[in-house]
């Protein structure tokens, strides 16, 4: 080989060329693997490194999470508001108390007169009204004068009374003379019998006439005076047939009043009892029965309960409202209730239950219809929690699910807390 002549490896045998090519491939793979490992080390953090703290932890706590847990779980994962000591004093935080809730149904209705104890006072005969004594709303006793009428029928009955009384007097004297004459054989037996018959007929006619006048309200003394004075008083006095209150007066002097021709001059009602007429949903119909005790409240007497009993349940359901008319009878000895008063009908349909209770100001209705409360364990952080609400009685709402007795809740300001949460999340 010459001095400047290199070995011609490329002209070597095929075996040497394959060996050389393999070494080149191995070197390339080694270089590529080293580069990939360096890139991977630059991307992954050290195993012992800790994540950096959030720059604004307070903001993260105050803002709502994407998937809140309202019932249980980590309070930091729920919608919450943290207040300072000064701010928490503005809210009333109290432990949840357990109260007894009656299982009952409510319905609304109105007070009405007891129509079974009401009467329309018509005159016994036709006549024109002369004088009125009672006004609508007056309380009257049985026998109290209500009004007078000028009755031509009374004149006719009085004339008949006077006539029959005269006939009776005449036939009585004739009978006495006939008896005297018959005792001395002055008349025949048939004449005496005729005198007896005439006297008995006159006596019967007189009794019938007196009964006819008695229908007009005249006493025996009044009839004796009419007979003695031969003077007929056409004024008929109409008296109250019951003790009660004048509920309607459709009379005025000069108007013609007729028996059974409405409207009656006066309508009276016994107000010792009144009705409460309520409309009950047909779904509550199976819970009702006659004689069942109910509680009635009216706005005129806040806090007062009037005891009543169901006396009538409607025979049919209103097809428009799908409600049943239920009538209860209320004893009202002091006459405190007035017809037309708006009333609430409360009937107990089951055994009372004890449940957690929250005032209405501690509850908030969300946009989706759910009810929420604000719960706290340290009187600093208040967490919104969804609850299930039941009955509302005596100023408290029954909590069926979501709260336990003794838990601390904000009993006032639920809406303000919700607004504060909304503002903090912006």
Residue 257 forms part of a structural domain: yes
374 strand-pairing partners: 384
Closest C-alpha among 333, 339, 318 to residue 275: 339
Q: What pLDDT shows up at residue 103?
A: 79
Q: What pLDDT shows up at residue 345?
A: 85
Same domain, 253 and 385: no
Residue 247 forms part of a structural domain: yes
Domain ends where: 235, 266, 297?
A: 266
Q: How far apart, in whole angstroms, are the C-alpha atoms of residue 161 and residue 4?
A: 181
Same domain, 335 and 359: no
Q: What pLDDT shows up at residue 350?
A: 73
CA distances, 231 to each of 169, 214, 291 (Å): 18, 16, 57
Same domain, 260 and 277: no
Same domain, 93 and 202: no
Same domain, 344 and 365: no
CA dihedral 245, 250, 254, 256 (to 10 degrees): -110
pLDDT tens-digit profile, the chain (426 residues): 444 444 454 445 666 667 777 776 776 777 777 666 666 555 444 444 443 333 333 333 333 333 333 333 433 335 777 776 666 666 778 899 899 888 788 889 999 999 888 999 999 888 999 999 999 989 999 999 999 999 888 888 889 999 999 999 999 999 999 999 988 888 899 999 999 999 999 999 999 999 988 888 788 898 999 999 888 888 888 999 999 999 999 989 999 998 888 889 999 999 889 999 999 988 888 888 899 889 999 988 988 889 999 999 999 999 999 999 999 999 988 889 999 999 998 888 777 888 999 988 888 888 888 888 888 888 778 888 899 998 888 889 999 998 999 998 887 766 677 666 665 555
Residue 26 forms part of a structural domain: no
CATH number of 163's domain: 1.10.287.470
Closest C-alpha among 66, 74, 86, 235 to residue 149: 235
Q: What pLDDT shows up at residue 94?
A: 85
Same domain, 208 and 304: no
Same domain, 222 and 258: yes
Range of the domain at 234: 125-266
Same domain, 331 and 272: yes
- For the record, the structure tokens of 163 come out as 């006539």
Residue 112 forms part of a structural domain: no
Same domain, 258 and 132: yes
Same domain, 134 and 238: yes
Same domain, 227 and 276: no
């Amino acid at each position: 080989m010459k001095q400047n002549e290199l070995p011609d490896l490329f002209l070597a045998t095929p075996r040497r060329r394959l060996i050389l090519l393999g070494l080149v491939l191995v070197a390339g793979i080694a270089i590529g693997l080293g580069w990939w490992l360096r890139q991977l080390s630059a991307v992954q953090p050290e195993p012992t490194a800790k994540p950096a703290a959030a720059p604004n932890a307070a903001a993260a706590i105050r803002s709502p999470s994407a998937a809140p847990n309202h019932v249980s779980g980590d309070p930091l994962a729920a919608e919450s508001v943290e207040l300072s000591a000064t701010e928490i004093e503005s809210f009333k935080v109290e432990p949840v108390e357990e109260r007894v809730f009656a299982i009952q149904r409510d319905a609304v209705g109105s007070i009405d007169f007891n129509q079974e104890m009401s009467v329309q006072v018509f005159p016994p005969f036709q006549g024109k009204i002369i004088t009125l004594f009672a006004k609508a709303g007056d309380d009257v006793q049985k026998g109290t004068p209500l009004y007078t009428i000028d009755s031509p029928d009374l004149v006719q009955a009085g004339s008949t009374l006077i006539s029959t009384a005269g006939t009776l007097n005449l036939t009585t004297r004739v009978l006495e003379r006939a008896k005297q004459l018959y005792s001395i054989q002055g008349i025949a037996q048939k004449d005496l019998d005729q005198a007896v018959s005439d006297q008995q007929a006159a006596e019967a006619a007189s009794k019938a006439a007196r009964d006819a006048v008695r229908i007009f309200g005249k006493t025996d003394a009044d009839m004796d005076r009419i007979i003695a004075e031969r003077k007929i008083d056409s004024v008929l006095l109409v008296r109250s047939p019951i003790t009660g209150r004048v509920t309607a007066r459709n009379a005025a002097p000069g108007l013609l009043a007729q028996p059974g021709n409405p409207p009656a001059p006066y309508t009276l009602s016994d107000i010792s009892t009144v009705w409460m007429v309520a409309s009950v949903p047909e779904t509550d119909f199976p819970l009702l029965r006659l004689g069942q005790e109910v509680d009635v409240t009216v706005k005129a007497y806040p806090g007062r309960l009037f005891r009543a009993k169901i006396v009538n349940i409607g025979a049919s359901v209103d097809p428009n409202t799908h409600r049943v008319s239920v009538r209860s009878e209320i004893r009202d000895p002091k006459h405190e209730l007035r017809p037309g008063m708006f009333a609430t009908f409360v009937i107990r349909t089951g055994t009372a239950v004890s449940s957690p209770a929250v005032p209405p100001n501690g509850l908030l209705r969300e946009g989706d219809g759910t009810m929420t409360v604000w719960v706290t364990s340290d009187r600093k952080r208040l967490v919104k929690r969804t609850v299930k609400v039941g009955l509302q009685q005596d100023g408290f709402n029954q909590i069926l699910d979501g709260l336990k007795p003794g838990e601390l809740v904000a009993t006032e300001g639920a809406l303000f807390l919700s607004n504060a949460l909304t503002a903090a999340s912006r």
